Structure 1
């Protein structure tokens, strides 16, 4: 994921900001020892910080559908992580460095997210925008002077680029089978419902006079002694679960079932 952002930025800068010139684009830490080895015009994108973008954190689950539009699985929404780059230009003359920084800034200001045609790998597959911001004030808990001090180098003009990258690596939870016209099956506290299609289907008379099939046990069904034994130490027996009755509502033009329980 990080290397894909690196490649997208490298391609974007080489094509749109540097005009296809031979200026190198690297990702090294700009320490004093590294600066002493630079002998050609170079643009450095140093990744100095990685942290989650909490403003984009979502709750809940996202549905995944098959070709028929049925939910087959659910997964957590992507989480965004901010990749902070310190961008510097390295030439023999400060004027040339400023000119390079100006070109890079103009390039990044054209976009609010990385261009989709520059994305590769998993970033291109998920089809989600990759937002970016440039030259915003640093957070209160960090300053660019601290970054340069940690690198052991001298303070240098730079641009701060922050890319919010979506990460979709999360477990997938398979969805249960869709509910059909046969109704639901419940098992409430050890009182199993009668499977659809078996003998003994019951019917209930609705207020409008229609009789519809009912799945589940009758209200007031006897307690299951195997699951609710009376305790021998004086404790009361555990309460039996509630009875479950789920009535179907078939279309009005459906054939009326015969009178009486099946």
Structure 2
């Protein structure tokens, strides 16, 4: 993911502001030792910070579908991470460095996100925008002077480029089978211990529990007319409810 952003930035700069020039594009840490070895015009894109872009964090799950449009699984939405680059120009004359920085700034200001034709690998397969911003004020918890101090170098004109790159790595949660058109099927079985011939509460296993649908004070007297209650008991559709006395 990070190396794909590196290649996209390299391709963008070589195609536009640095086209036709003999300018190297590197991603080295601009330390004193490195600066002493630079012997050709160079643009350095130093990746100095990686952190999640919490403003783009989404909740919930995204559906995955098969060729028939059926949901087969669910995964978390992409999470965006901010890649912060310190862009510097290195030549023998400060004026040439300023010209390079000016060309790079004008190039970056033309885009709200990395151009789609410069993306490759997984970023190209995603088909989503890769937002970027340039020359914004630094966060309150750090300054560019602190970055230079950590590198052990002298403060130098630079551009701060932040690229918000999506990361889609997430476990896939398998979805249950789709709901059909058959509906719900219910079945009934004999009450444990009940006799198919006799439905009285004195049968083995009744334990003296009243049968739902008859008066508890009149054992064996169904509430329905005729033999409706007895027929229901003989068919096995008999449920017993324990009453608290």
Q: Deviations over 1:66-122 (max 9, x none)?
A: 122111111100000000000000000111000000000000001101011101111
Match of 1:63 in 2: 63
Rounded Cα–Cα distance in structure 2 between residues aligned with 1:128 and 1:216: 48
* 1:67–1:30 distance in 2 versus 1, CA, 3 Å: same
Unmatched 5+ stretches in structure 1: 185-214, 224-260
Query: Where do 1:156-235 residues align within 5 Å?
Result: 156-184=156-184, 215-216=185-186
Q: TM-score, normalised by structure 2?
A: 0.75
1:29 positional shift: 0.3
1:236 aligns with none
In the alignment, which residue of structure 1 is the partner of 2:19?
19
Query: Closer, same or farther in 2 for the Cα pair 1:217/1:58, shift >3 Å?
Result: farther
1:85 paired to 2:67: no
Aligned equivalents of 2:191, 2:158: Cα separation in 1 = 78
1:34 and 2:34 matched: yes
1:109 corresponds to 2:109:
yes
After TM superposition, the runs of 4+ consecutive aligned structure 1 residues lying more than 3 A away are: none
- SS in structure 1 of the partner of residue 99 of structure 2: helix
| Superposition map of 1:129-144 within 5 A | 129-144=129-144
Partner Cα distance (2:44, 2:20) in 1 = 16
TM-score by length of 1: 0.71
Query: Residue 183 of structure 1: CA displacement?
Result: 2.2
Deviation at 1:182, TM superposition (A): 0.9
TM-superposition CA deviations, 1:126-169 (whole Å, max 9, x none): 11110000000000001000000000000000000000010001
**Could you say if the C-alpha distance between residues 140 and 216 of structure 1 is closer, same or farther in structure 2, counting changes exceeding 3 Å?**
farther
| Structure 1 residue 217: Cα displacement | 5.7
CA distance in 2, matches of 1:105, 1:29: 21
2:239 matched residue in structure 1:
none
What count of residue pairs does the alignment treat as equivalent? 192
CA change 1:17–1:177 in 2 (3 A) is same
Q: Distance in 2 between matches of 1:92 and 1:222?
A: 97
Larger radius of gyration: 2
Structure 1 residue 61: Cα displacement? 0.5
SS of the residue 2:16 aligns to: helix
Please, which runs of 5 or more residues in structure 2 have no aligned partner?
193-234, 236-245
Higher strand share: 1
